[in-house]
Structure 1
């Protein structure tokens, strides 16, 4: 029995495709939950920001191992200003809670990391975008300048509210480090995340001063720098990549 060159070439191409296909498929869990926490830093209408803290929990659905949609809840403290050093003697403390829906896409969705140590190491790098609400609870704020203020002692009250709900848009940049279980499945993740939160409204710092008197043009923001852990669970799904 003989094979023509065309048939031999066709079989070779088909075999190569099947080998590539077999190496490019894997199984993954469709759900994960995670916990994390870290420090935050504010940028609001007061001149100086300050450090606070954030604790977070999340649950995610995995469309692929590298594309997820989920919900994140946060609780923390955002603060800024200083009654002594601020030019207007303003300062605030906000014990906030927030809930956001987030979409995240990891580098592993676009690169071939099989047997490539560099890409394997950074396949969990991701970008994310979300939207949600933040519930502001101002627990400490300067509404009147102190009597010893250098300019306009006793001036006030600074306008604004102590409680309110605003729209919030988080932007995430981070890295997932994957850990397999005893059966070879990715079951655990150590997560490093940097998140910029843009709030729309004047509730984050509790000040709503007219821009004719105070600088008040940009959205109030706070950045969260966190470390977390994630656990995968649920049904197992096949994942196939064609490269």
Structure 2
């Protein structure tokens, strides 16, 4: 077993001796969602590195950090490939419901498409608090997990030929678009991830290069931390606390196991 395979299993709490079959992916995705946060602190700190297999292993598995989509899903992709799955990485364009339009910065979401028994599924562990925690088939079938309902709808546009949609538990009363993507445009290599990271780090319209953000699903909801607020969802009940820099450090250590605080002193 490779270092990545063993360390990933250890990080999410799966046995080294457990075979990862398609039927086990629900469990794997849920464990990953509950153990690995979506966060942008290295972007804010100016400490990003090239997206390579070695670097994402070092960051997320050895240093126990979280990451953004291009880190979290590239790591999961490597793990899936090592466990015999037929998977590719592909890019998507995130939709902003408040503006009713797609992000102007383009294809900056990285996700995974996996083929099993002749059916293609979307697998995503890098979409913040919007994770399906189950493979979502591209045939339109609705899947449900503890986080809500999810589906893929075929729709041709300038942004893709499919859209990933969600109806989050306790939050959405109707379907909303998460992102658009093409079914048959896999990335050729990880240089695409570096391109995504460059846009996220430097573009003026990037949503992740201005203030710190950490979010993670929990067994009964989610937690989200910024430099000014801490929001908890517990069984559908939301509480929001205004915070200062000292409280930010305290909460980040408590909920996200963060240890590098030099730039927030």
How does the TM-score come out when normalised to structure 2?
Answer: 0.28
RCO higher in structure (CA 8 A, sep ≥6):
1
Q: Which has the higher helix share?
A: 2
Q: Which has the higher strand share?
A: 1
Which structure would you say has the larger Rg?
1
How does the TM-score come out when normalised to structure 1?
Answer: 0.30
